[in-house]
Amino acid sequence: MMSVRSNVFYKTLTPLMVAITASSALFLSACNNSNTQADTKQIETTADLSIFEGCYTVSHDEPAQIKVSQEGGAWVMQMKEPASAKRVWDDAEPLEVIENSDIATYFSIDPENVDAVIGRPDRVLVLAHVKPVYANIDPLLDSEYLSYIYRGANTIYRVECDDVNTDILANPHSNIVIDNVNESS
């Protein structure tokens, strides 16, 4: 049987021990959360942008239209010039890393499924690389690359770079005649 003195000791010690344990748990979890957030930011800022190096087009059957490369330690993009320009690629435009927290502005995809995002400073062009595992299971994706070009998002395809001019300004519909459906026959 416990003495009265022991009982008072345990009644005093128990709340004190609970308070110390709770404080320690809160302190440790707060430290753990801040490290996790710092680790996440570290991962986002150290994304491997070399996955973007290469040329892209909007269809498998078309030549390259966009070229992403590294120039002087910075990432740049170029667009294919028309045949009349006397050069294949236009002047390089700078690209910058876009944070995963901004992905929803350009693409309807969970940021957890994206490796990296880069874009022009004016955001007229934004490119995202989707994790290969996710691209394989999402039936709406037929490529690991997404492009946002002036208010429209779509998949794009990585293709071999070439140095052949194409007439990208040609109007493929110039010889099509559309009859007025309201005309009476």
Residues linked to residue 153 through DSSP beta bridges, in sequence order: 148
Q: Report the pLDDT value the prediction gives residue 94, as an integer from 0 to 100.
A: 96
Is 41 a member of any domain? no
Coil, strand, or helix at residue 175? coil
Query: Which residues are CB-neighbours of 160 under 8 A, at least 6 positions away?
Result: 55, 64
Q: Report the pLDDT value the prediction gives residue 177, as an integer from 0 to 100.
A: 47
Q: Which domain holds residue 102?
A: 49-159
Is 166 a member of any domain? no
Q: Is there a contact between 114 and 129 (Cβ–Cβ < 8 Å)?
A: yes
Is 97 a member of any domain? yes
Is 78 a member of any domain? yes
Is 23 a member of any domain? no
Is 124 a member of any domain? yes
Q: Report the pLDDT value the prediction gives residue 11, as an integer from 0 to 100.
A: 53
Is 167 a member of any domain? no
CB atoms within 10 A of CB 95: 22
Q: How far, in Å, CA of 91 to CA of 71, rounded?
A: 12
Coil, strand, or helix at residue 133? helix
Q: Report the pLDDT value the prediction gives residue 51, as an integer from 0 to 100.
A: 94
Is 27 a member of any domain? no
Q: Which residues of the chain have pLDDT under 70?
A: 1-46, 167-185
Q: Report the pLDDT value the prediction gives residue 35, as an integer from 0 to 100.
A: 46
Domain count, the chain: 1
Q: How far, in Å, CA of 148 to CA of 128, rounded?
A: 8
- What angle (nearest 5°) sits at the alpha carbon of residue 25, between those of residues 24 and 26? 90
Q: Report the pLDDT value the prediction gives residue 40, as an integer from 0 to 100.
A: 41
Q: Report the pLDDT value the prediction gives residue 138, as an integer from 0 to 100.
A: 87
Q: Report the pLDDT value the prediction gives residue 171, as an integer from 0 to 100.
A: 55
pTM for the complete prediction? 0.64
Closest CA to 87 of 78, 100, 76: 78
